[in-house]
Amino acid sequence: MQKHLTVAIIQTHLIWENPIQNRLNFSKKIREIRDDVDLIILPEMFTTGFTMTPHNIAETMKGNTVEWMKQMAKETNAAITGSIVLSEGNDYYNRLLFVEPSGVIHSYDKRHTFTLAGEHLVYSAGSKHSIINYKGWKINPQICYDLRFPVWARNTEDYDLLFYVANWPKPRIAAWDALLKARAIENMCYCIGVNRVGLDANNLEYPGHSAVYDLFGNVVEACENFKEDMVIATLDKDHLKNYRQKLQFLNDRDSFILK
């Protein structure tokens, strides 16, 4: 078990519905990382932007992006994660993939599809958490709109890290900042949010505000707003363990059944 987990978060512009160019752009950024990192986190739908026309660009689990993620994870000796548009049978999913250097793949399908944009009409919703055990860290990956639903993130599995990948627009960015901090505090965990920047094809602007929070809601590292940026944060398992033992707030959490 590693006491420390070093995480790189990449905040960048996305080329609309252009997986080839987005993969090339991310390859360059990932290869510029000079530190030894354990995990690299990319935004939601990092090969396309937040598109509601998946039939144009959907891939499969044997597609080019999955192979690219496996290649980059092996090359960097770090896990790579982010969500892409996946086709499976007759359904489309906003699916987060977490690819380890060994080639092992974990996945999570976005549970809360964004009804305001009609995502629920196009993509099938997931129904299960995916708690990933990686280098002795328990990690809970979630996607964008999931952030607004605290019950779905409630720390009943004693996970260490909760992260969100997103395309979260400028008009509601104050909510993004507040909810990331709240999820860290209420779940006594590290919480990371990775958002994109720039304009998409719908003329929506994304301001970034990607950041890493500790269990008190303090900012550990943060990207520069409105700009392409990358930051690296080292998470400390003993920091979590010591304060969880000292404060024991999670022992007083309410029990519930999620339907």
Calpha distance 71→65 (Å, rounded): 10
User: Which residue intervals of the chain are DSSP H helices?
Assistant: 19-31, 64-76, 119-122, 150-153, 173-187, 237-247
- Taking alpha carbons only, the member of 173, 164, 166, 165 closest to residue 207 is 173
d(CA 234, CA 243): 17
> Which tokens hold the place of 69?
């993620």
Residue in 17, 59, 70, 110 annotated catalytic: 110
The one catalytic residue in 144, 189, 191, 223 is 144
Burial class (CB in 10 A: 0-12, 13-18, 19+), 245: exposed
- 205 catalytically annotated: no
Pairing of strands 211-213, 39-41: unpaired
Q: What ranges in 14-157 are assigned the alpha helix state H?
A: 19-31, 64-76, 119-122, 150-153
Q: What are phi and psi of 166, to 5 degrees?
A: -150, 160
CB 79 within 8 A of CB 100: yes
DSSP state at residue 240: H
Would you call 228 a catalytic residue per the annotation?
no
**What is the distance between the alpha carbons of residues 107 and 116, in angstroms, rounded to a whole number?**
25
Token pair in block for residue 46: 């990092």
Active-site residue identified among 17, 44, 119, 186? 44
The verdict on whether 191 is a catalytic residue reads no
Instruction: Write the single-letter amino acid at 192.
Output: I
Supply the residues annotated as catalytic.
44, 110, 144
